[in-house]
Chains A and B, each alone.
Chain A
């Protein structure tokens, strides 16, 4: 069916307009085969915990989850064995703490989210404020420590574009410095104004890099997503490759190509697009400069600027061969009209359909790699974002390994 469609379009489009990004512009990333082992090896994964995740800002939530002073969320970061408590204080400030009572280490808060002024540990009723200070503890006079020394351990926490990031190590600079020019892009995107979101979550038996890589190359689209990719490919760009790549430090992005003569949608899909477009127009997010930007923020976060399906995707590592994906479609305002509600549910279900197809093939990929059959895997020019992720991870793991060896010597 895809061939018929393409053939038909080929006759109508005698002048191809698409030019892929050339290898020359990407030579700096190298062209060698990439070692397979880092994609499944538990020993390598142990190094990544410290070298990558302890040393990076990680996206963990959105300000709309903390709508009022006193709002809190709990987030577990398995890769660092951490449970985090993120609060909005009476001063409106968003702060993050280890969700651990400073008395004897009990996990303080059990609920996923809520609103409170204090948090009491169930074990001995040590009670903390939204700012992490220890407010009271029964028979505290019998301890040999001051209350000031018993505040919840703070975790570096900063917000850009409405997105909350935490750093569980010692940040070398601010989040804004870490993001560089991508900070401005985040602030221009609808996520910066979002007040709610749709979310779906998947668990996957696959390494986080292998999982993440799937979402930063378009080479697979026409094969894995025949229904969704058919309408967006054309004879001059049969794989729907992006029009540009961009790199900043460990981060990277692509600019999505849009087929100029795409057939209009039909049926229920057409109605969903019409109704959704009315709202996107009202929100002023149609045709923005960042609408085609697809950002990959190191180590494990994506954000697509599309106004109609403005989604983020975080791949949380759990073990060398296990990850969790969290996908959110961010929206501005609650459902104002039944039409808007319909469009949002439809767009969420559409994205979920596509990600379903990805999840299935990624698990298959991990199973093959984890068999140890391959020494190397291969990335082509248009899989350069995958290569860049590997290079960044390898650089950080090697640096960490040298430090450790240096310290041991």
Chain B
């Protein structure tokens, strides 16, 4: 964190010289108005509140109304209370999707975190071609998800899978592995693709965190006789914790409400075994046209996300305070 501040101080110093003169030309009243913290805050927040109010608050209220009504495509529904939620809860596919969402989020996050951390530690060392390796590691994060998932689907293709070919040639298998044609395999394939896509984000962000750690600390620790693992555990990890938590929060939010990846990879099949809440909500609400039920399924995500994020943020604040 030293770098930007140092740079900033420099530019501030330069700016001081230029500062005084524009004041004279500014209209007094506006200046006084803007000196008022409340007024300035209101002004600065106005665009955000306007955009989010129009494009989130209103649709959100509409969405909640949908979830409480029997609306289906082309038909105005009536208020049915919690019936859509009850129906979803008693639906076996919903329960599968609900469970899948947790499994998917949990494992994908664990993998992204451990692999991302490992990669960050590797990238934090000096070696030839460091810059190009760092930049290329970001590639999976950049390609539009839909398109990269198509590439994975092509690699997992039941008939033309290159992975099967490889394993077959290496005499590791005698029949093709059912990558996407079996529910369990399918779920793990989705987790692998999600990990592949999300790991670079972890790695780069953690790398950023690592670079702020003073190397002297490591030197001191190694002089004290700490080996690599202990150095990581007692020196690096505590300092990285805040960064890690923030990345995990973002990742959990994105993974929990993931849609594109499953939509392209399996479409929720075979036999609904790979549905996530988002894809199932989409199938019920948008494809089948039962808008009320679809909205109810989507809404199930909100409290869960809220609790997860709240816990993480609270932990973060407590650490900040300490």
| Mutual binders A and B | no
